[in-house]
Each structure stands twice: as structure tokens, then as C-alpha cells.
């Protein structure tokens, strides 16, 4: 088995850098223009530039006519060339052409500068757009509201909130009145920054300035209010104007986030009563909320209503239904919905494929998931990192390291760079196959998170390599990862199983010093370790601690102590613990009674053990093989094989 390295990205092919010197360096093009019998028209140059797909050829052509006598570049030809360079992210070329315009005495128009700003926006270089904006006068261009709007939009696209307000203030200082587009950008910026109160004040300012909010304004602020849980306030605001579909969608999404699905239906009815037709987003939002809550039947009823009202579901609608079916374990129904989606002519996207495969894997249908994965590329859908992580995780759960490795190698070959989730899934399957050296190599070639380390440490501890696990534990800080409760639980379990109590309690003290939260599993692990060492009273002290800290013991906690007392022959103490257990929040189970029966057989008599058997049967807990084995072994040791056969017949008859 060979695992391809996943740490290095495939190198991108470097583009040949453009030469920005505007001269007639191409002899063939120069001779061509010298032979021209007529002056070039602007329309001819524009047509050639617009239709030339190769940016290098287009730029060579642009340069070749710059110093010729056949044509002098205009604002429109400069704008066209700047736009082409911007699309290719050739920002140095954009800056160079701005300077060349200045040298040629061609003034920079509003449209040209907007093209420049959009080029920077496309390249996610909004800060550079701002720097260029402050040199606007150098290019013979005056700032306009439209230019400011595009600049603000570029800053918003990169969430440069701290830069937006100074630009807006500067705009007002220059005597430019913001328009509706300006206000909507500012509203979106405030809402994205969770400053809903500021957005409310801006709405008031808009109205005072005679610029009344439109559907975009209200939808922006309503969506933001619902996202931060201010659904009631959003509904109050909606009463001040005539709501539209996007506003209702925002409200319905808000109540669904709060798990108030009944309220979503109230809003749906309200929409229709007001003559507003719900769209696919409206229905899909409700269907998704119902599917997540496990009410698949009602979500299917909403789907039926969609069809009745002539609203066609989309891929998102079907994907939500498929997820809901899988959550309820309804695999066949999920597959039927998938087939129905295909019949409706809806082409599944990578999210839909991933949801189907994840559901199949979660319900033990790995073979089906792999067949769906193999179909993806046939239907023109390229797998993404989520696809690969789902399949690799499925193979990890079954311990199939060969198949997981094959998918990993296919992912690397396709140029899909694994993320931390895929790395962790691969480490899981390697650990399940005791391939710890390979797992460690993967960790060294990635940026692991706490989940990755926990997976590796748990794998090492479960295979008895606790010393190695401790080395990994002390190495975590080097990767910027701090251990959490799960990390300590795995190490404590491993140390207690090796009877390394000194190191185990050192970790317990470290947890207390670092204020790492003790979970129920932590306490159960410590109590089990103490009881295994025969320190039952110390275990009881830990039980008291956990109750004081607000963690109530479960059946495992009580069973651990009961079993330890019975092993020590302290059956009465075990019975007392059992009484405390039945008076609390958890019930005795088959393990509890089997431990008590074993203790009673050893210390008292069969009659006492039989009373315990009848009590458990009365409580609806029936003896299993382990229970019968305890009784038969005890009787065999006292009476011989014939007596044990008679005992078994009597017990079965009484049961």
C-alpha cells in the first residue's frame, strides 16, 4: 500500500508575464500598420480587442498601434484594454495603462475608473483600489457618487468595515449626496458587522434625506435581525411597510432558526392571505427545518403543497428531504426522493451528492455510497474535499485501509488538496489497522487540530501504546493545540489499564490546575481505575465530587462500584449502592444484577441470589448468558454437573 503525499499542492502553471512597455517592438505588426492605406477606426480597434481571447496577443496589438500614425487610443479603447487586463488579474498592467493615459493626455472617465475599481474588487485587492482612488485627481477625473458606490462595494466585498465609514464621510465632505445604492451598501456593511441598531438609524437618515428605503434595504436589515435572533423586532418592523417575498423568507428563516416551526406556518398562511405567493426559497426553508427536526412526513406534505401551487422544488429542497430521511434511518425513502429529483429534471450538485453519500455511509450502506461516488464524474459533477472525506470516513469505520488509501490517492491525483477533516479520517483508518507510523507521518505533513490529535491518541491508547500516546500529548503544544477533556479521558483510560496510577493522577491534577472540565466519562474513567486497583472508597469520594460539581452519575458509575464491592466480598455495601441507585435518576440493568448475583453466590447462598434473580425479572430485566453462567458455575462448584443441570431446569421453569 502506497499513500501519496497530501501536503503539497499541485503547482499552478505560471503565466508568461506581460511586457508593459508601450512601443512598436513587434516588427511584423509594425510593418503591417505601415502598409495600411487608411486610418484605423475606433470601432475596428474595439472589435479586435473584444474578440481576441488571448490577453498577450490583445496587449501586443494594443501596444503595436500606440505609436503608429494610424490610430490614437481613446477613452473607450483604454477602458476595454483595462477591463481585459482586470479580468486576468493583471493589476500591474491596469496601473501602467492609467499612467499611460495621463502621458497621452487622455482623461480618465467615470466609467474607466469604475472599471479599474472592479478589477481590484475581482482580484480581492480593495485596499489597492482605495489607494488608487486617492490619486483620482492625477488622472484628470473627478469623484462621483457612482465611483464612491463602486469603491464602497469593493471594500464591503472584503469586509473592510473600518475603511467604509471614512470613505462615506469623505464623500459627504465633498458635497456628494448618497443615493439609494450608497445607503444599501452601508446598510449591508452595518448588518454584516452585527450593528443592527446602526442600520436602524441609517434607515431614519435615509428617509430624512428624501431617499426612501426599497425592498433591498428592508430585506437586508430584516435578514440580519433574524440571524441574530431578533425575530420579534423584525416582525414589528415588517408591519411598517408592505412586505415582499424576500422579507417573509427572512422572517420564516428566522423562526425556523429558533425552532418555532408552527410560527413559520403562520407566516406562510399570512403570506398567501395577503396575495403574496411563496417561492421555492420559502418552501425549502420550511422543509429543511422540518427535516432537521425529524418530521419527514410533514416535510413531504409541504412538498406536495408546493406542487399543488405550481412551485417547482430545486436541488436544495430535495437535498433537505434526503437528509431528513437519513436522520430517521429511512434509506429506501431517501433513495426514492433522489430518483424523484432526477425525474423532475433537477441536476444534482456536489452538495446533493455529498448528502446522499453521507447518509448512505451513516446507515451502513457504504457499497451504495461508493457506487454513487463513481457515478458523479459520469454525470459531470466533480467531487470536492467533502466527497472524499465522506468516502474515506466510511472506509475508516469499517477498517478498510486499502480502499481508503485508494480514494486518498485518487483525491491527490485529481489535484484536490485534503483538509484537516480528510487527514483526520485517514488517520482514523490507519490507527484502526495499527499503522501508527504512517499516521504520525500524516500529522507531520499537515496542520492538525485537536480532533486529529485525539483520534491518534485514542488509537494509540486502545492498542496499549500509552507511552507513545504520552509523547504525542506533550508534542501537541508545538502544533499550537491544547489538550481538551477528550484527550485527558483517553490518556487516563490507557494509564489506568496499565496500572500506572502515579502518571494518571498527575494528569488529574494537571486537569484541575488547567481548569479542564471533568465530564461524566472523566469521572467514570477515574472511578473505574480506582476500583480496579481495589480502592473502592477512593472511588466513592470521586462519586461525591462529581455530584457536587453538578454531574450526576450514570448506570456505568454505579455498576463499577457495585462490581468492585462484590469482588471484595462486601456485598452488603454493594446492595446499599444499588438502593441509592434505584432511588435516583438511573435504573439497574443486567450488569448491575449479574454483579450482585455473583457476589451473593460467593458470600451468602443460592437462595439469596435467586431472590435477586426474581426481582430483576419482575423489573422486566431478563437474565442473559453471563447471569446463567454465574449461577451454574457456583452450583457446579458445590454440587457437580448433575446438580447444575437440575438447577438450570428449575431456574428456567421458575423464570
3-state secondary structure 56-118: HHHHHHHHHCCCCCCCCCCHHHHHHHHHHHHHCCCHHHHHHHHHHHHHHCCCCCHHHHHHHHH
d(CA 588, CA 586): 7
Please say whether the beta carbons of 62 and 82 come within 8 A.
no
Mean model confidence pLDDT for the chain: 86
Determine which of 89-93, 251-255, 368-372 has the lowest per-residue pLDDT on average: 89-93
pLDDT band for position 639 (cuts 50, 70, 90)? low
**pLDDT tens-place string over residues 397-425:** 999 999 999 999 999 998 899 999 999 99
Three-state secondary-structure class, residue 521: helix
Residue 24 has pLDDT above 70, yes or no: no
Distance between CA atoms of 398 and 391, rounded to whole angstroms?
11
pLDDT: which is higher, 93 or 491: 491
Cell of 152: 464602497
pLDDT score, position 643: 46
| 416 and 385 Cβ atoms separated by less than 8 Å | yes
**Burial letters 205-231, b for 16+ CB under 10 A, else e:** ebeeeebebeeebbbbbbbbbbbeebb
Give residue 37's pLDDT band: very low, low, confident or very high (50, 70, 90): very low
pTM of the model: 0.72
Residue 300 C-alpha cell reads as 413531504
Pull the grid cell for residue 454. 485525539
Give the span between the Cα atoms of 336 and 325, in whole angstroms. 10
CA distances from 15 to 52, 88, 172 (A): 17, 10, 43
Number of neighbours of residue 131 by Cβ within 10 angstroms: 11
Q: By the 8 A CB rule, do 500 and 464 touch?
A: no
All structural domains of the chain: 18-175 (1.25.40.10), 178-278 (1.25.40.10), 576-655 (1.25.40.10)
Integer Cα distance of 139 and 641 in angstroms = 107
Contacts of 248 (CB under 8 A, 6+ apart): 267, 270, 271, 276, 278, 282
Q: How far apart are the first and last CA of the chain?
A: 55
**645 Cβ contact partners less than 8 Å away, ≥ 6 residues apart:** none
Residue-level pLDDT at 18 = 61
Residue 502 C-alpha cell reads as: 502515579
Contacts of range 24-32, beta carbons closer than 8 Å, 24 or more positions apart: 24/63, 24/64, 24/66, 24/67, 24/68, 25/63, 26/60, 26/63, 26/64, 29/60, 29/61, 29/64, 30/64, 30/68
10 Å CB burial of residue 11 (0-12, 13-18, 19+) is exposed
CA distance 419 to 469: 23
Mean pLDDT of 349-373: 94
**pLDDT for residue 638:** 65
- Mean pLDDT throughout 175-196? 89
Residue 80 Cα distances to 56, 109, 110, 113, 114, angstroms: 14, 13, 14, 12, 12
SS3 of residue 588 by DSSP: coil
Integer Cα distance of 265 and 440 in angstroms: 52
> What mean pLDDT is predicted for residues 156-182?
91
Locate 550 and state its grid cell: 453538578
Amino acid at each position: 500500500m502506497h499513500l501519496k503525499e497530501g501536503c503539497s499542492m499541485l503547482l499552478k502553471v505560471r503565466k508568461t508575464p506581460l511586457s508593459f512597455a508601450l512601443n512598436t517592438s513587434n516588427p511584423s505588426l509594425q510593418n503591417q500598420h505601415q502598409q495600411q492605406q487608411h486610418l484605423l477606426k475606433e470601432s475596428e480597434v474595439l472589435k479586435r480587442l473584444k474578440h481576441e481571447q488571448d490577453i498577450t496577443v490583445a496587449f501586443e496589438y494594443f501596444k503595436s498601434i500606440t505609436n503608429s500614425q494610424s490610430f490614437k487610443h481613446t477613452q473607450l479603447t483604454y477602458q476595454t484594454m483595462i477591463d481585459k487586463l482586470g479580468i486576468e488579474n493583471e493589476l500591474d498592467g491596469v496601473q501602467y495603462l492609467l499612467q499611460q493615459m495621463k502621458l497621452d493626455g487622455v482623461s480618465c472617465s467615470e466609467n474607466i475608473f469604475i472599471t479599474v475599481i472592479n478589477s481590484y474588487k475581482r482580484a480581492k485587492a480593495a485596499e489597492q483600489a482605495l489607494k488608487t482612488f486617492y490619486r483620482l485627481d492625477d488622472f484628470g477625473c473627478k469623484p462621483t457618487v457612482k465611483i464612491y458606490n463602486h469603491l464602497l462595494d469593493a471594500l464591503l466585498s472584503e469586509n473592510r468595515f473600518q475603511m467604509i465609514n471614512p470613505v462615506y464621510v469623505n464623500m459627504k465632505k465633498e458635497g456628494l449626496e448618497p443615493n439609494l445604492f450608497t445607503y444599501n451598501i452601508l446598510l449591508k456593511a452595518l448588518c454584516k458587522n452585527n450593528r443592527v441598531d446602526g442600520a436602524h438609524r441609517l434607515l431614519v437618515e435615509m428617509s430624512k434625506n428624501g431617499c426612501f428605503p426599497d425592498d433591498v434595504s428592508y430585506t437586508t436589515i430584516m435578514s440580519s435581525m433574524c440571524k441574530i435572533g431578533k425575530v420579534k423586532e423584525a416582525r414589528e418592523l415588517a408591519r411598517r411597510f408592505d412586505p415582499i417575498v424576500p422579507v417573509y423568507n427572512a422572517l420564516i428563516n428566522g423562526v425556523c432558526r429558533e425552532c418555532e416551526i408552527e410560527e413559520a406556518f403562520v407566516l406562510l398562511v399570512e403570506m398567501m392571505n395577503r396575495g403574496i405567493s411563496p417561492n421555492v426559497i420559502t418552501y425549502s426553508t420550511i422543509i429543511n427545518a422540518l427535516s432537521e427536526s425529524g418530521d419527514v412526513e410533514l416535510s413531504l406534505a409541504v412538498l406536495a403543497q408546493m406542487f399543488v401551487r405550481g412551485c417547482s422544488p430545486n436541488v436544495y429542497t430535495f437535498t433537505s428531504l434526503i437528509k431528513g430521511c437519513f436522520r430517521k434511518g429511512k434509506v429506501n425513502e431517501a433513495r426514492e426522493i433522489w430518483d424523484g429529483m432526477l425525474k423532475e429534471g433537477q441536476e444534482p450538485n456536489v452538495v446533493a451528492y455529498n448528502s446522499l453519500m453521507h447518509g448512505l455511509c451513516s446507515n451502513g450502506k457504504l457499497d451504495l455510497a461508493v457506487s454513487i461516488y463513481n457515478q458523479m464524474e459520469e454525470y459531470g459533477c466533480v467531487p470536492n474535499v467533502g466527497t472524499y472525506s465522506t468516502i474515506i470516513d466510511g472506509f475508516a469505520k469499517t477498517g478498510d485501509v486499502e480502499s481508503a488509501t485508494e480514494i486518498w490517492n485518487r483525491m491527490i491525483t485529481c489535484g484536490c488538496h485534503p483538509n484537516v477533516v480528510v487527514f483526520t479520517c485517514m488517520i482514523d483508518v490507519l490507527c484502526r489497522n495499527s499503522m501508527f507510523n504512517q499516521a504520525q507521518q500524516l500529522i507531520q505533513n499537515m496542520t492538525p487540530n485537536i480532533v486529529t490529535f485525539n483520534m491518534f491518541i485514542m488509537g494509540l491508547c486502545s492498542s496499549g501504546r500509552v507511552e507513545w500516546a504520552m509523547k504525542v500529548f506533550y508534542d501537541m503544544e508545538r502544533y499550537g493545540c491544547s489538550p481538551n477533556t477528550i484527550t485527558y479521558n483517553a490518556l487516563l483510560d490507557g494509564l489506568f489499564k496499565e496500572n500506572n496510577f502515579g502518571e494518571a493522577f498527575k494528569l488529574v491534577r494537571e486537569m484541575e490546575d488547567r481548569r479542564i472540565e471533568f465530564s461524566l466519562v472523566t469521572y467514570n474513567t477515574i472511578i473505574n481505575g480506582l476500583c480496579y486497583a481495589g480502592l473502592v472508597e477512593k472511588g466513592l469520594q470521586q462519586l461525591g465530587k462529581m455530584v457536587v460539581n453538578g454531574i450526576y452519575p450514570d448506570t456505568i458509575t454505579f455498576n463499577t462500584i457495585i462490581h468492585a464491592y462484590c469482588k471484595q466480598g462486601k456485598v452488603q455495601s454493594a446492595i446499599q449502592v444499588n438502593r441509592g441507585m434505584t432511588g435516583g435518576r438511573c435504573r439497574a440493568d443486567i450488569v448491575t444484577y449479574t454483579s450482585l448475583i455473583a457476589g451473593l453466590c460467593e458470600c451468602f447462598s443460592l437462595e439469596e441470589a435467586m431472590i435477586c434473580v426474581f426481582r430483576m425479572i419482575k423489573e422486566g430485566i431478563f437474565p442473559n448468558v453471563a447471569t446463567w453462567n454465574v449461577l451454574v458455575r457456583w452450583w457446579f462448584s458445590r454440587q457437580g454437573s448433575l446438580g447444575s443441570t437440575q438447577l438450570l431446569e428449575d431456574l428456567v421453569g421458575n423464570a
